[in-house]
Amino acid sequence: MTSQTFKEAAKAVWSMVVGLKVTGKNFLLPQITVHYPRQVVTNLDTYRGHIELIAKDDNPFAARCILCGQCENNCPSGCITIESVTREIPAEAPKEPAPGEEAKPAPKPKKVKELTQFLLDYNLCSLCGLCVQNCPVDSLRFSRDVYLAGFSRGEFEFELLEMLQKRGKK
Amino acid sequence: MPDMNALLAGIPAELTRLVLALIGLMVFIGLNGLALVWVERKVAGHVQRRPGPFEVGPFGLIQPIVDAIKLIGKQLVTPSGSDKFLFWLAPLLSFLPIFLLFIPIPFSKNLVGLDTNLGLLLILAFAGLNVLALCLAGWGQNNKWGLLGAGRAVAQSVAYEIPLLLSVLAISFQTGSLSLTEITAKQGAWPWQWNIIVQPLAFFLYFICAVAETNRAPFDLPEAESELTAGFHTEYSGMGFGLFFLAEYANMIVVCSVATVLFLGGWQGPFEPGWWWFLIKMYVLLVVIIWFRWTYPRVRFDQLLNLNWKWLLPLSMVNLVATAFAVKLFA
């Protein structure tokens, strides 16, 4: 038994007091949890929910998507399926050729691909974000729906275009 | 038809008092057990910056009652290969002696079950039965965790009983009595007249040993959820577990009551004396014990025994000898 031992013991006892101070202080500080059904969280800036489509600046019902298929190809989980139709826009009728000129051949009709369905099987998604990163026109982002819940797998098979249009109506 | 008055007159007054005291204590232990479960969970919650129970009843006050009903409603399972008699004897043996521990405690001037001059001895003697109960529980359930927990419980309780007794004995030397009523009476109403001023070391040692005796964190090695699932009560379900649980809280109340009587002036509070001072002091100590649980990590077994044999025991011996000298010199 040396004075060293007693010094260490006193230090140990003091550390116990410090511990009590820490928990005592936290006891008095305000709570940091949220009573869920009555309160909801607001700090969602960094929350990554399922992906959703972003509307065009001038049309809230159409997505910016140009149907390049980057997201579908890059998705490691294979949870994105893009359905589209190709519509033909008839070209303007050629002008009457001026006398002496050769008549130009009639221009071909313009082909436009149009997004009909953007299917997301959220059951498979691992939220890696490759689709969001690779989108060349920034048409995808993570939603902030923290309280998403459902009773069956079917409820997590989303049609993102439909959801976009619903949002647009609001 | 026999004369009822004559029959009633034949019952000794002391017996009536004891029966009434036991009934009162059952209510007291039951209600305080429920209250402590609530306090424990609320303190745990607030220390961790969350609300604790708050859904069932105002401030979650009904929660412990609902929990108790759930426990009562559960099936009692006896594990195969267990010693059925010992297995079911253990929870009863853990819980029933609790009433004896409360009988000599003076809650107020006349509010005492049995005012005996050996009250302190009675408490210390019957407190030891809890160890036996834990030992039988661990042995009877045919489970390795249970057996390990029981072994720890015995080693721990036997070790910590010694400095506990020695620190209590210092107060007895000083007061010259083992009667809790007399020890209370010798202290004054104001804090500077309490025994804790004269015997701070004894209080410190008593409190550490009391936490260890009641198997509370950081000395909860017999339970040790993270190592032994639930230690000595691993195999108990329903009220078998419930009785151990209630006994643990009741034991906490006992040690805090004894500390209140021995060191904090009992019911002779500042200003007006009364039972409410007793309850207030008791609950302050209880909250401190709960506070300990949510602050300190569990000690290792060698640390537990080192602390006892290398520090608490010599310190309590020194304290006792010094008290004896002081009493001889100044009294």
Structural domains of chain A sorted by starting position, each given as residue range(s) with its CATH number in brackets: 51-87+109-169 (3.30.70.3270)
3-state secondary structure of B271: coil
Strand partners, A159: A119
Q: Which of A20, A27, A33 to mutate against chain B (most B CBs within 10 Å)?
A: A27
Residues 291 through 330 of chain B touching chain A, CB cutoff 8 Å:
291-292, 294-296, 311
Task: Record the pTM.
Answer: 0.77
> Do residues B91 and B78 lie in contact, with contact meaning Cβ atoms separated by under 8 Å?
no
Distance from CA of A127 to the nearest CA of B (A): 29
Q: Say how far apart CA A169 and CA B26 lie, in whole Å.
A: 66
Smallest CA-to-CA distance from A55 within A114, A128, A137 is with A137
Within an 8 Å CB–CB cutoff, is residue A39 touching chain B? Answer: no
A9, A20, A32: residue with CB nearest B49: A32
> Do residues B140 and B82 lie in contact, with contact meaning Cβ atoms separated by under 8 Å?
yes
Q: Say how far apart CA A166 and CA A53 lie, in whole Å.
A: 12
pLDDT of residue A1: 60
pLDDT of residue A21: 92
Mean pLDDT of A123-143: 89
pLDDT of residue B285: 92
Within an 8 Å CB–CB cutoff, is residue A34 touching chain B? Answer: no
Within an 8 Å CB–CB cutoff, is residue A2 touching chain B? Answer: no
Compute the mean pLDDT over every residue in chain A, rounded to the nearest whole number: 85
B50, B51, B291: residue with CB nearest A23: B291
Q: Does the pLDDT at position A159 exceed 90?
A: no
pLDDT of residue A106: 72
Q: Per-10-residue mean pLDDT for chain B, 331 residues long? A: 73 82 88 90 90 85 89 86 86 87 85 80 86 87 86 87 90 86 82 82 90 85 77 81 88 91 83 83 91 89 87 90 87 68
The tokens 């029959």 sit on which residue?
A: B7
A20, A31, A32: residue with CB nearest B291: A20
Q: Does the pLDDT at position A16 exceed 70?
A: yes
B43, B49, B294: residue with CB nearest A33: B49
pLDDT of residue B321: 92
Smallest CA-to-CA distance from B168 within B199, B126, B189, B193 is with B199
pLDDT of residue A14: 92
Q: Does the pLDDT at position A18 exceed 90?
A: yes
Q: pLDDT tens digits, residue range A47-98?
A: 888 888 888 888 888 888 888 888 889 999 889 888 888 888 777 766 677 7
Smallest CA-to-CA distance from B209 within B264, B282, B158, B257 is with B158
